[in-house]
Structure 1
Amino acid sequence: MTASSTELAQPGSDTAQPTARGWLVLLVAGIFEIGYAVSVGGSKGFTNLNWSLSAGVFFFLTVFTLTVALKYLDVGIGYAVWTGIGASGAAVASAVIFDQPLTTARVLWLAVIIAGVVWIKLASSPKHAEQA
């Protein structure tokens, strides 16, 4: 028998802590996703050995930590947040590492992604779930 995220997040229950842990692990998975995306870009089609090895390591780490996080969070919410962190983080990291342009329009749309991730997190909070 499995519990939904609303059951896991009940304040004062023994399972509220694992839900918080799930969000923390999901954040780490998102950071690993950024590393994977940047490494794939640096590998130049997996022709650069060091970047390719880095991509392999980050791929394993991001999938593993995402899997752990999804033990505590709904798949749809977890995946949306994970991809949002990865997409926005990879765009910023690529601008810094590879000197790729970060235009005003890109920053605006990255802000929309980040706002969406925050909104999803807030909407899945235990307090909001009780009101729904």
Structure 2
Amino acid sequence: MTPVQKNENSGRAWTMLLLAGVFEIGYALSVGGSEAFTVLSWSIAAIVFFLLTLYFLSAALRTIDVGIGYAVWAGIGAVGAAVLGSVLLNQPLTLIQAFWLAVIIGGVVWLKLADSAKLRAELR
């Protein structure tokens, strides 16, 4: 595999991971709306989002190391669910919680940067 192909595969994998994170947010919010799977429409949405997040996560993990991929996926899901839960579901979000969510975002960004081919080449 050429360096260009590896870079393209890595880019696709990170796109898949980002989509998995978005679907994880949808899953978390749908589970909340399902009221313990007693509301049919929210329950169906939760199942669909769950299957989508699993598919895209598993596709991304074909290229991205599982530890890094899982940490990024969980971070996207956690931050997204907290922020959108606050905006859409009127759930409280304190300033200190927002600060720690920002720390998670910073960690996700640094994990992505650490996975870049350029950085790996510099460390060798």
Q: TM-score range by the shorter chain?
A: over 0.9
Question: Which amino acid is the alignment partner of residue 48 of structure 2?
Answer: V
Shift of residue 57, structure 1, vs aligned partner: 0.4
Q: TM-score, normalised to structure 1's length?
A: 0.88
Measure, in 2, the Cα distance between the counterparts of 1:48 and 1:97: 18
Q: What are the within-5 Å matches in structure 2 for residues 7-22 of structure 1?
A: 12-22=3-13
What value does the CA root-mean-square deviation take over the aligned residues?
1.3
Measure, in 2, the Cα distance between the counterparts of 1:95 and 1:14: 41
Secondary structure of the residue aligned to 2:120 is: helix
The number of residue pairs the alignment matches comes to 123
Match of 1:98 in 2: 89
User: Residue deviations 1:91-115, cap 9 Å, x none?
Assistant: 0111112100111011001000000
Match of 2:56 in 1: 65
Stretches (4+) displaced over 6 A? none
Question: Which amino acid is the alignment partner of residue 97 of structure 1?
Answer: L
Give ranges in structure 1 of 5+ residues lacking alignment.
1-7
Give ranges in structure 2 of 5+ residues lacking alignment.
none
Q: TM-score, normalised to structure 2's length?
A: 0.94
* 2:119 counterpart of 1:128: yes
